């Protein structure tokens, strides 16, 4: 090859490396690791113990990262720390990235595969966690980690092996989905609230309503389904108690503090124990559903988990349909 061509090729290669370096320029990884540990523990001391580094070293690495980014990521209150808005944005992807690296290394070393499953807090607490023991018993080679109770931006979804999402009006568009659980809703309350008697649907507006959807669409759709006056329902909802999770509203209903429009998948054990009872004679109505989103190339562990969890969901759905003669 002529010398001129070799020189041009070398210049192109060097230029390509420089462009790639500029595009993929990352903060110091050691500083990112220190930040992730401190933010996760909300403590410099706990992070230093985890990383087996001195307290001064951890504090120095966090300062290095903040200086590199030109942003304040943590507010210090002695050993206790709080994330700034910028820190809150950085932590989820940093944590998931380190978790992903650790999982891949484990797989390379021949350790059992693990999955990160993302779902709502209520689905985790009221349905999924109760069944994970069975999953571990039937598939001991798989470790499941739950990511719930955190709001991740959509661009982080690729960090999850399985993402379980809720849709009131059907599955997300342009996504490959698997139906998990249909949502059957029914008003419930503590037996002490109504002295174990049911009330007419129209009278439900006379009681405190527990609201677990910010837009209140679930109660409004139930009102239309049960032929309850929309204006009276709107007024009752205006005086209701609002929650950010179904699980919190369910516990409040059990405590006798109001009537909840509950997902039957979440409250079967409470109905069986008598902690909750139907507030009206209106049959359950179908509202939304939970769907499983898998990545473009799901792992064998993800496929195994999906087969197992959909089978358990089908059993739950069958129990509910038989109990309430649903079609």
pLDDT digits (tens, 9 = 90+) for 251-310: 999 999 999 999 999 999 999 999 999 999 999 999 999 999 876 677 788 888 999 999
Q: Is residue 125 within 8 Å of residue 112, measured between CB atoms?
A: no
Beta strand residue intervals within the chain, DSSP E: 74-77, 80-83, 114-118, 143-147, 162-167, 177-189, 209-211, 241-242, 259-263, 277-278, 285-294
Distance of CA 260 to the CA centre of its chain: 22
- Per-residue pLDDT at 8 exceeds 60: no
Residue with tokens 């320029």: 25
How far apart, in whole angstroms, are the C-alpha atoms of residue 225 and residue 228?
8
Q: Which residues contact 265 (CB under 8 A, 6 or more apart)?
A: 126, 127, 181, 183, 184, 316, 320
Residue 315 CA neighbour count, 13 Å, CB half: 8
| pLDDT value for 249 | 93
Residues in the chain: 327
pLDDT digits (tens, 9 = 90+) for 149-205: 655 555 455 568 888 989 888 887 766 788 999 999 999 999 999 887 889 999 999
Helix %, strand %, coil % for the chain, to 5?
A: 55, 20, 30
Tokens of 202: 């129209």
Domains of the chain: 3-92 (1.10.10.10), 112-180+289-324 (3.40.190.10), 181-287 (3.40.190.10)
pLDDT digits (tens, 9 = 90+) for 226-244: 999 999 999 999 999 999 8
pLDDT digits (tens, 9 = 90+) for 70-110: 889 888 877 678 888 888 888 878 877 887 777 677 667 66
Q: Is residue 128 within 8 Å of residue 265, measured between CB atoms?
A: no
Mean pLDDT, rounded, of the chain: 83
| pLDDT value for 107 | 65
Tokens of 276: 């909750």
């Amino acid at each position: 090859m002529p010398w001129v061509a070799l020189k041009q090729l070398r210049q192109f290669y060097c230029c390509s490396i420089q462009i790639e370096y500029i595009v993929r320029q990352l903060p110091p990884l050691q500083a990112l690791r220190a930040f992730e540990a401190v933010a996760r523990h909300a403590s410099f001391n706990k992070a230093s113990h985890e990383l087996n580094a001195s307290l001064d070293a951890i504090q120095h690495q966090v300062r290095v990262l903040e200086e590199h980014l030109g942003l304040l990521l943590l507010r210090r209150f002695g050993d206790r720390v709080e994330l700034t808005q910028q820190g809150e944005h950085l932590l989820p992807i940093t944590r998931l990235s380190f978790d992903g690296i650790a999982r891949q290394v484990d797989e390379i070393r021949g350790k059992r595969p693990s999955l990160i499953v993302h779902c709502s807090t209520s689905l985790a607490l009221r349905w999924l966690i109760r069944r994970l023991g069975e999953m571990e018993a039937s598939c001991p080679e798989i470790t499941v980690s739950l990511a719930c109770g955190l709001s991740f931006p959509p661009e982080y979804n690729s960090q999850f092996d399985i993402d379980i999402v809720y849709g009131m009006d059907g599955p997300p568009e342009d996504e490959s989905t698997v139906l998990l659980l249909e949502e059957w809703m029914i008003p419930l309350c503590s037996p002490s609230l109504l002295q174990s008697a049911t009330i007419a649907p129209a009278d439900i507006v006379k009681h405190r309503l527990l609201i677990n959807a910010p837009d209140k669409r679930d109660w409004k759709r139930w009102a239309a389904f049960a032929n309850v006056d929309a204006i009276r329902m709107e007024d009752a909802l205006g005086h209701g108690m609002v929650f950010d999770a179904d699980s919190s509203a369910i516990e409040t209903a059990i405590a006798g503090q109001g009537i909840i429009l509950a997902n039957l998948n979440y409250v079967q054990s409470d109905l069986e124990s008598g902690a909750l009872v139907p507030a009206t004679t209106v049959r359950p109505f179908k509202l939304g559903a939970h769907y499983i989103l898998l990545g473009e190339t799901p792992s064998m562990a993800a496929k195994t988990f999906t087969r197992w969890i959909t089978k358990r969901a089908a059993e739950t759905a069958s129990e509910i349909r038989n109990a309430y003669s649903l079609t």
